[in-house]
Structure 1
């Protein structure tokens, strides 16, 4: 039952936002009493934390699976983007922003986990790209990794990029092209152009 509660709560939080969804809403969706939820979670904060962790673990496992395929590094970046967007919808409900505002401790913990995951993934991607001649060989991997993580995070800033003007999918596509163009060789640019053309 605990897993069912977390799974349904996660879907609701992503679709409607963590602030909008009440424990009553979750109970009604599952056809159970609110008391049943409280058997497994003392309060909504605990449930939000469990839901956040579930999404992170699913995405983390998906990213690990993609990285293990050792695909073309540029293709790998776009595969990871696709995976993340599928799990986070289009973020119209701003769950990331709401988490930051209403559950700052959970948000801070999530951000640290995201950084550790992305740091290893991006660094490995950059090293392989350099080895394959797709990325410039004078890249400072540590700096580029941090710039990448910081930039991806800034795309979620609703003051900078309000959802009524910018969809997350469009922002991600523009940023990834910007990122790859900045680090790739002429050989890498051919791969990027092919990927972009296939998306259209």
Structure 2
């Protein structure tokens, strides 16, 4: 019973740690922190934290890898859904809006400075698992005459650079609503830029239904 109770306590502490770190990172991605800071904010000892996570990187890994896996699952489900490509991109934008701040270039560069192995693991996952799914979505769109015939690399680069700029706005403001509106507005502008006439009409129809 004691062991079970300890596991429950450690599980609750682990959850609180993850939530606290999530709140810290949700503003502007990965930030340097100390175990002392976490312990003070949760009013627990460092020893208690190390019972749940052997080292600081384990805590960061738990948060970011879980988010990355969730995002990947959402993308796969979105691609498999019986919807048109425009609908898929709109749904895709919602997931990106909530996760981009964690995985944009600036955040990953900071992460790479302190936890290079974890950063490289995330970058590899993005390049080998996530990007191919995006390219698949673009190919489907071109085949259906919904996406313009623009190189994948150009589309991805433009979207990434532009949305990174929007993410910087989140860094300088605590107004999440403004950030969300800015992000969706920017994504809509970018999406319109790669849509054919047919694709733009599908987007108009979708907005009319909302």
| TM-score under structure 2 length normalisation | 0.68
Relative to 1, partners in 2 of residues 1:157 and 1:42: Cα closer, same or farther, differing over 3 Å?
farther
Q: SS in structure 2 opposite 1:114? A: helix
Q: Paired residue for 2:57, among 41, 45, 49?
A: 45
The 2-side partners of 1:177 and 1:68 are apart by: 22
After TM superposition, give the deviation of residue 190 of structure 1 in Å.
0.5
For the 8 Å contact 1:10–1:51, the answer to whether it is kept is yes
User: 1:98-147: CA deviations, max 9, x gaps?
Assistant: 553254313343233223333222222122222322223xx25xx32x23
CA shift, 1:79, in A, is 0.6
Which has the higher mean CA deviation after the structures are superposed, 147-156 or 22-31? 22-31
Identify the residue that residue 195 of structure 1 maps to in structure 2. Answer: 206
Aligned position for 2:110: 101
Task: Report the more deviating stretch, 149-158 or 68-77.
Answer: 149-158
Matched, 1:186 2:194: no
Q: How far did 1:188 drift? A: 0.8
Pair 1:20–1:67, CA change in 2 (3 A): same
Q: Over alpha carbons, which structure has the higher Rg?
A: 2
Aligned partner of 1:176 in structure 2 is 187
Q: TM-score, normalised by structure 1?
A: 0.71
Unaligned residue ranges in structure 2 (runs of 5+): 1-6
Deviation at residue 56 of structure 1 after TM alignment: 0.6
Displacement of 1:72 in angstroms is: 0.9
Contact 2:11/2:52, CA 8 A, preserved across alignment = no
- Which aligned pairs between 1:22-37 and structure 2 lie closer than 5 A? 22-24=34-36, 26=38, 33-37=45-49
1:14 equivalent in alignment to 2:8: no
Using a 3 Å threshold, how does the CA distance of structure 1 residues 184 and 60 change in structure 2: closer, same or farther? same
RMSD (Å) for aligned C-alpha atoms:
3.5
Contact map agreement 1:73 1:125 (CA 8 A) in 2: yes
**Which has the larger share of helix?**
2
When residues 41 and 71 of structure 1 are mapped into structure 2, their CA distance, relative to the original with a 3 A threshold, is same
Per-residue deviation, residues 17-60 of structure 1 (Å, max 9, x unmatched): 35365435555777764323313433212321222111111111
Native 8 Å contact 2:169 2:179 kept in 1: no
- Of residues 73, 79, 85, the one that matches 2:97 is 85
Aligned to 2:154: 147
Residue ranges of structure 1 left out of the alignment (5+ in a row): none
